[in-house]
Amino acid sequence: MIAPAILAHERRALLQDRLPVVLLGLFALICLFASLRGAEKREAMEEAATAFEAEHLQQASDWRERVVAVESGAVAPEDDPWAGLAMDVARPAVAAPGPLADFSQGVTAVHPFTSGVSLWRSVDRLFGNYQFQSPNEIRAGSIDLAFAVLFIMPLVMIALAFGALSRDKDTGRLGLLLSHPISVRELVRSKLLVRLGAVFVILVVALFAGLFIGAGGVPGGERLGRFGFWFLAASGYFAFWAGAIYWSVSLNRKSETTAMMMIGFWVLNSLVGPAVLAAAAQLIHPAPSQLAFLSTARAVSNEAYRSRSDVMQGMLLDHPELTVENYTIPEYIRVSYLVTQTVDRSVEPVLDDFEAVQRRRQAFLSLMQYAAPAALAMRSINEISGTDLARQVRFEVEVRDYKRVIARQVEGKVLSGERLTVAEVDAVPSYSFRESDLGAVGRNVLFPIGYLFALGMLAAALARRNLVRLQTRFREA
């Protein structure tokens, strides 16, 4: 009977104490703001992506109409000599925001998500100009649910729970409480259950609110599936912190020592750990120089342009069938194509290096993340949300490959200077970005999430042992 009484008392105490109520209210407010802001950003991204795609598809459609007009005889070929020019084939490539981009913005703020794929552009210029975001805003990072869960939630948990045992001890009430038929373990557990339980309830409500706010109504299947994993990850991180706090409390130190210990741990886990890991990953696996990459692309472009007659000669030797007697399209178009292709081929190894470095860094972090649970939780959450770096790298690689596919398909017509037919225009594939399937996401994140739960349980087991010892000491005293 005594444990339920303590639970009831704790509930009342929690609601009557102004500070915990303010903290819980603040946490709920931050979560709400994060959901609304996340939804707003995701919507803005979606609108930008949709508008970009629609504009480019419209251009492609208008261009196709010109080919239709010439092919059907409605327009004389000499009246529109550029209709069906193979070099002008252009298609949009868009990676719509990840299914839960409103929950975690991840790397989306700094990377491109649209590309106007065109044969006029070499692969180093495929993503156009997108660097217009406010640098101050990017630097500060965003307030999204990931931030609320990874940073704010542990702080609220610490603030509510650090005095679970020590406060009674400091005020001399502990002896009185333990004179009742209740163990220290039950006492601490009841207090933590109420205090941390309140945080968990807000977390659950906030996540479900975010689910519906971001979807703008009833969420679809993909979003729901991802949400399941997100919920699991957030719960895992909560469990990890609950275990850590339980253990800290069980050490039975003075309130301020417990508070300092927990804050110290928060600082190490949430700030120092990720910062050091990031620095180490970049130091051990440095990226190739972006400036050197740029210089290489320019040098190759310059060299190919200078030796364009050799390049053309080489192409005609390789493809004598492309020699057309009545060539009417200006030569600069063929030259541009060949220069662009030469640049593409030359920068390929450097781009491969960039990807390889990212892969090595990811492998390094996949291992080292277990030393910093905040980093681990963040990486898992980003992957579930579809805002992780690996997804972005995949998009950029796919866009470059897509350009190669288009180039292969129309190369003959570019070099021979012939028009594309309507059938050939229609045969140009379109690009669509496919999210990783739920199963793959699950396979990648379940172990790290399980690790968080395991850490939490381990800490709880240690705490339990500490409290049993403490109980013995009390009895002996």
* Least distance (Å) between residue 5 CB and other proteins: 26
152 versus 232: smaller Cβ distance to other proteins = 152
Question: Over the range 105-133, which residues count as b (16 or more CB within 10 Å of their CB) and which as e?
Answer: bbebeebbbbbbbbbebbbbebbeeeeee
Collapsing DSSP states into helix, strand and coil, what is residue 304? helix
Question: Residue 19: is it exposed, middle or buried by C-beta count within 10 angstroms (0-12/13-18/19+)?
Answer: exposed
Q: Do the Cβ atoms of 424 and 71 come closer than 8 Å?
A: no
d(CA 339, CA 300): 8
**Pairing label, strands 90-94, 114-118:** antiparallel
30 versus 455: smaller Cβ distance to other proteins = 30
Tokens in use for 107?
């790397």
* Least distance (Å) between residue 52 CB and other proteins: 5
3-state secondary structure 428-472: CCCCCCCCCCHHHHHHHHHHHHHHHHHHHHHHHHHHHHHHHHHHH
Query: End-to-end distance of the chain based on CA atoms, in angstroms?
Result: 25
* Least distance (Å) between residue 59 CB and other proteins: 12
290 versus 472: smaller Cβ distance to other proteins = 290
Q: How many CB atoms lie within 10 A of CB 252?
A: 20
* Least distance (Å) between residue 329 CB and other proteins: 16
197 versus 288: smaller Cβ distance to other proteins = 288
262 versus 415: smaller Cβ distance to other proteins = 262
* Least distance (Å) between residue 271 CB and other proteins: 5
* Least distance (Å) between residue 144 CB and other proteins: 9
54 versus 427: smaller Cβ distance to other proteins = 54
